[in-house]
């Protein structure tokens, strides 16, 4: 049934394509002067001071978000994003400055007098962060309440969803990668997995923000892992970095440099991997959608809908895999920091 549907829709799109080939050529000329049809992609994957849901005709359906700024001479200030934009077009710009502060058309906050200002706004991604946190809290706390109420019985409801993941993270990720001292790190790894996974999945919803595909978010998560790894690093770990065993003394300065850089490349890889995987997925999906606006053809519409559906399913997979990979690598880095090395055996 499903297969038949796919084949039919493909055929349908091919037929339509032959009809619309001419109209596309004519249409592309009329396109000039209009807005860039792919601009919304970058707009979507980046953070923003307002949450834009949909544009119907010339009406923008948006959620104005709080803008919080701090500057040394002016202190903490609160505004809403609509203070800084054109109410018709919802465009930000220097010409819509408010109280000496403006948001430029790249969503950067600045001061008219050129002074330095820090932006602590509740941006779209911060709201998304709060949603993800609330979602994770709801699921895990309702799972926990099941155990509190019923004791150590078979899981039910939210608990039956959370429990297998908890067991997987505990046994397959934490225990296998960290070793005997894994118990201390299981809560962090669990939180990491649930946060990233939920962020990835909720980010796939139409109109949602690209939270886990934001470099600031992945940077923060990677930094937390970095801190945990190096705070828990034992003697062997530091010895491995600063006096790598089995290396000739002449090579030691180079090795120490390499090992030292290695401390930072690990979290850097974590940061980039998650950011790239999620952002790329969003870009691919949105590009297929953008094809519809570029070609303005029904056949492309059908085709790209199929492709978007297909990519979305893959993205569900990627969402889980990336959450798993981030958690797994964090566990492995922690494992390398707390492991008791037996140098005689390994080097």
For the chain, how far is it from start to end, CA to CA, in angstroms?
A: 59
Question: Is the four-CA dihedral 23, 25, 31, 35 of positive or negative sign?
Answer: positive
| Partner residues linked to 50 by β-bridges | 64
Restricted to residues 305-344, the positions that interact with other proteins (CB under 8 A) are none
How many angstroms separate the CA atoms of 31 and 37, rounded? 9
Task: Determine, following the binding rule CB under 8 A, whether residue 141 of this chain makes contact with other proteins.
Answer: yes
How many angstroms separate the CA atoms of 165 and 148, rounded? 19
How many angstroms separate the CA atoms of 291 and 20, rounded? 14
Candidate ranges 44-52, 235-243, 244-252, 296-304; the one touching other proteins (CB under 8 A): 44-52
Task: Determine, following the binding rule CB under 8 A, whether residue 126 of this chain makes contact with other proteins.
Answer: yes
96 or 120: CB nearest other proteins: 120
Sheet holding 75-80, edge to edge: 75-80, 66-71, 118-119
**Out of 129, 201, 277, 303, which residue is the one contacting other proteins (CB under 8 A)?**
129
101 or 302: CB nearest other proteins: 101
How many CB atoms lie under 10 A from the CB of residue 248? 7
115 or 187: CB nearest other proteins: 187
Residue in 271, 288, 280, 267 with CA at minimum distance from that of residue 319: 280
Task: Determine, following the binding rule CB under 8 A, whether residue 63 of this chain makes contact with other proteins.
Answer: no
179 or 187: CB nearest other proteins: 187
How many angstroms separate the CA atoms of 100 and 113, rounded? 7
Going from the C-alpha of 42 to that of each of 209, 214, 220, 255, 286, the distances in angstroms are: 12, 12, 22, 41, 9
Task: Determine, following the binding rule CB under 8 A, whether residue 40 of this chain makes contact with other proteins.
Answer: no
**Out of 77, 119, 172, 296, which residue is the one contacting other proteins (CB under 8 A)?**
119
**Out of 178, 186, 208, 323, which residue is the one contacting other proteins (CB under 8 A)?**
186
Closest approach, Cβ 208 to other proteins, in A, equals: 16
Q: Record the tokens describing residue 146, joined without a space.
A: 């099941």
Task: Determine, following the binding rule CB under 8 A, whether residue 133 of this chain makes contact with other proteins.
Answer: yes
**Out of 84, 182, 193, 195, which residue is the one contacting other proteins (CB under 8 A)?**
195
Closest approach, Cβ 99 to other proteins, in A, equals: 18
Residue in 161, 169, 165, 164 with CA at minimum distance from that of residue 139: 161
Task: Determine, following the binding rule CB under 8 A, whether residue 256 of this chain makes contact with other proteins.
Answer: no
Site string for other proteins, 69-108 (x = CB under 8 A): -------------------------------------xxx
How many angstroms separate the CA atoms of 267 and 324, rounded? 15
**Out of 65, 143, 201, 331, which residue is the one contacting other proteins (CB under 8 A)?**
143
Cα 83 to the chain's mean position, in Å? 28
How many CB atoms lie under 10 A from the CB of residue 84? 24
**Out of 83, 163, 172, 259, which residue is the one contacting other proteins (CB under 8 A)?**
163
**Out of 10, 97, 215, 241, which residue is the one contacting other proteins (CB under 8 A)?**
215
Instruction: Give phi and psi for 65, each to the nearest 5.
Output: -115, 155
Task: Determine, following the binding rule CB under 8 A, whether residue 152 of this chain makes contact with other proteins.
Answer: yes
Candidate ranges 13-21, 93-101, 122-130, 328-336; the one touching other proteins (CB under 8 A): 122-130
271 or 292: CB nearest other proteins: 271
Whether 125 contacts 215, CB under 8 Å: no
| Residue ranges binding other proteins (CB under 8 A) | 42, 45-48, 68, 106-108, 118-123, 125-126, 129-130, 133, 136-137, 140-141, 143-144, 147-148, 151-153, 159, 162-163, 166-167, 170, 186-188, 190-191, 194-195, 214-217, 219-221, 224, 279
């Amino acid at each position: 049934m499903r297969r038949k549907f796919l084949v039919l829709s493909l055929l349908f799109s091919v037929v339509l394509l032959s009809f619309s080939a001419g109209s596309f050529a004519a249409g592309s000329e009329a396109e000039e002067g209009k807005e860039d049809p792919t601009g919304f992609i970058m707009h979507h994957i980046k953070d923003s001071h307002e949450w834009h849901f949909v544009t119907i005709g010339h009406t923008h359906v948006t959620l104005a978000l709080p803008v919080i700024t701090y500057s040394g001479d002016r202190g903490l200030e609160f505004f809403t994003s609509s203070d800084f934009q054109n109410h018709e077009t919802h465009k930000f710009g220097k010409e819509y400055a408010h109280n000496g502060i403006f948001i430029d058309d790249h969503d950067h906050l600045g001061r008219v007098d050129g002074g330095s200002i820090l932006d602590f706004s509740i941006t779209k991604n911060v709201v998304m962060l709060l949603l993800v946190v609330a979602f994770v809290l709801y699921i895990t706390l309702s799972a926990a309440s099941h155990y509190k109420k019923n004791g150590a019985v078979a899981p039910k409801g939210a608990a039956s969803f959370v429990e297998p993941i908890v067991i997987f993270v505990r046994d397959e990720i934490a225990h296998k990668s960290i070793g005997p001292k894994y118990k201390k790190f299981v809560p962090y790894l669990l939180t990491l997995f649930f946060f990233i996974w939920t962020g990835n999945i909720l980010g796939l919803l139409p109109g949602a923000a690209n939270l886990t595909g934001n470099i600031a978010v992945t940077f923060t998560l990677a930094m937390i892992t970095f801190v945990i790894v190096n705070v828990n690093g034992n003697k062997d770990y530091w010895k491995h970095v600063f006096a790598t065993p089995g290396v000739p003394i002449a090579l030691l300065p180079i090795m120490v440099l390499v090992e030292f850089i290695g401390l930072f490349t690990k979290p850097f890889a974590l940061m980039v991997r998650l950011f790239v995987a999620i952002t790329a997925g969003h870009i691919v999906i949105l590009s297929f959608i953008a094809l519809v606006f570029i070609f303005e053809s029904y056949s492309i519409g059908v085709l790209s809908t199929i492709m978007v559906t297909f990519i979305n399913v893959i993205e569900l997979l990627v969402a889980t895999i990336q959450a798993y990979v981030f958690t797994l690598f964090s566990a492995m880095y922690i494992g390398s920091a707390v492991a008791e090395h037996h140098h005689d055996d390994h080097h």
